Structure 1
Amino acid sequence: MKERWNNEKIARRFRNGSMRLKDFLPFFLSLAMTIALSATARAESLSLVGFGDSLMAGYQLPPEDAFPARLEKALKDKGLDVTIANAGVSGDTTSGGLARVDWSVPDGTKGVILELGANDALRGIPPEETRKNLVAMITRLQERGIAVLLVGMLAPPNMGGDYGARFNLIYSDLAREHNLAFYPFFLDGVVTKAGLQLDDGMHPNSDGIAVMVERFLPTAEQFVRSLQKGE
């Protein structure tokens, strides 16, 4: 009631011509402070980047159904103020990711969800090269003060047992060696389910993305909360 009375009083004085410029100063100062606090609150939104290949990009899906967009919504539903930029490029390998990581991850980014390597395995690229490229990306990001959540991948069975054994250990080894947040297998719960995949049998459909986000969410939530605490 008091605030309403004050507003009415100001309006009456303005109509009567008795209101002077200096009388508006408290109002303007209060308004400026409100705007500044609002801008500060928006600036504190935690910026993440989903950096990967077609599985991150959302191959043949509308932008709102891509993994970064769905994960961002799920985290916000948990009360976490985050934005997740989609830096997925279909067909990208770890060498391609290494070539673009510096400019694809802008300054101000607090964390990167690093998901690359599936196309390396499909092309039979030596696991040692995949490991080297991932190490280089992790190192560059950490040198910029950007935390990394490493996402694991598994080699297709048709690549053979020896290749699979060498490839599949890359991600857990790197997570341990570089003290990274880690999610073991990006396509967990989707890879063997035809109803969760596109007709190509390789990429998740919208329902598949929903499953991936649901399973990934606890790891992502822990990652975001650790960044908020400055750990």
Structure 2
Amino acid sequence: MSKTLFTSLSKVAALAFLFAALAAPALAQPANVLIFGDSLTSGFNLPEAQGFPAQLKRRLLADGYNVVVWNGSNPGDTSADGYSRINEALQYNPDLVLVEFGANDMLDHTDPRVTYRYLDAIIRICKARGARVILAGMLSLPKNGPNYIVGFNNIYPTLAHRHRVPLYTFMLAGVYGHPALMQSDNEHPNALGTAVMVAGVAPLIEANLRQLRLVAHEAR
């Protein structure tokens, strides 16, 4: 091999190493996942390590995802409360937001059109800030009557279709109605119920994290 060729190859290798070094920090950065909702995802009445954000983080890390999970959920919040603090919650610069509101709206018998408008605004703001959104759905209790049930239950699939965001149909799927998975108030999940919630929604979150990886790779 000539000295000139060897020198040229060395320069190419050095440049390749430099570009890889510059790109490495971006790839090593964890994805910020924001859990933004009410008591169902806040870890209400549970030790922090057993709450939804902590259990979800352990699941994602165990599955090989480099993430930071932020708990932006607040017990008692309605969709209106969520709207009032969405900009504050976005200080975490999330790559992915799980939006989970509506249970308290439903318990307060809030007009579904009002809940729709606030959730619509929350999703719009998150997307405008560059975050990917997953919408977590809620279902009305039977006692609210057929008209309310139809109006309320249609909020989530309608919004998901409108904004082209993935929908997790019912946040308490497999949990609500099972006493062993609920706290004594029969409204909030216990640690076991929270584990069921995490197991249900984690595959959807992971699918979206893979999409974020793909987008980041294509942008390089």
Same fold (TM over 0.5): yes
* Alpha-carbon shift at residue 161 of structure 1 (Å): 1.1
Q: 2:54 aligns with which of 69, 93, 100?
A: 69
Counterpart in the other structure of 2:147: 162
**Alignment TM-score, normalising by the size of structure 2:** 0.85
How many angstroms apart in 1 are the aligned matches of 2:97 and 2:215? 15
Q: Render the CA deviation track for 1:78-108: whole Å, top value 9, x for unaligned.
A: 1111111001100000000000000112253
Separation of aligned partners in 2, 1:65 and 1:49 = 17
Take 1:73 and 1:60, find their aligned partners in 2: how far apart are those partners?
19
- Residue 109 of structure 1 corresponds to 94
Distance 2:28 2:188 in 1: 35
* Residue number in structure 1 paired with 2:199: 214
Q: Deviations over 1:45-64 (max 9, x none)?
A: 00010000000111100111
Q: Verify the 8 A CA contact 2:32 2:92 in the aligned structure 1.
A: no
Structure index of larger Rg: 1
- Go from structure 1 to structure 2 and tell me whether the alpha carbon gap of 1:107 and 1:43 turns closer, same or farther (over 3 Å shift): farther
TM-score (norm 1): 0.81
| 2:182 corresponds to 1:205 | no
The answer for the alignment partner of 2:110 in structure 1 is 125
Within 2, Cα distance between the matches of 1:53 and 1:130? 14
Please state if 1:46 is matched with 2:66: no
| Residues matched between the structures, number | 196
Q: Does 1:81 align with 2:66?
A: yes
What's the counterpart of residue 213 of structure 2?
228
Residues in 2 aligned to 1:168 and 1:190: alpha-carbon distance in whole angstroms: 18
* Secondary structure of the corresponding residue to residue 88 of structure 1: coil
Q: CA deviation at 1:42?
A: 8.5
Structure 2 unpaired stretches of 5+: 1-17
Q: What is the aligned partner in structure 2 of residue 171 from structure 1?
A: 156
Q: 4+ residue runs of structure 1 moved beyond 3 angstroms? A: none
Q: Any stretches of 5+ residues in structure 1 without a counterpart?
A: 1-32
In structure 2, relative to structure 1, the CA distance for the partners of 1:228 and 1:42 (3 Å cut) is: closer
**Aligned mate of 1:148, from 108, 128, 133:** 133
Q: Is 1:55 the counterpart of 2:36 in the alignment?
A: no
The aligned residue for residue 20 of structure 1 is none
Identical aligned residues as a percent: 38
For the Cα contact (< 8 Å) 2:140–2:149, is it kept in 1?
A: yes
CA shift digits 1:160-213 (9 cap, x unpaired): 111010000110111111010210000000001001000000000000011111
Q: How well do the aligned residues superpose, as a CA RMSD in angstroms?
A: 1.8
Aligned-residue offset at 1:69:
1.3
CA distance 1:43–1:100, shift in 2 (3 Å): farther
1:90 is aligned, of 64, 75, 78, to 75
User: Residues 107 and 75 from structure 1, CA distance in 2 versus in 1: closer, same or farther, beyond 3 angstroms?
Assistant: closer
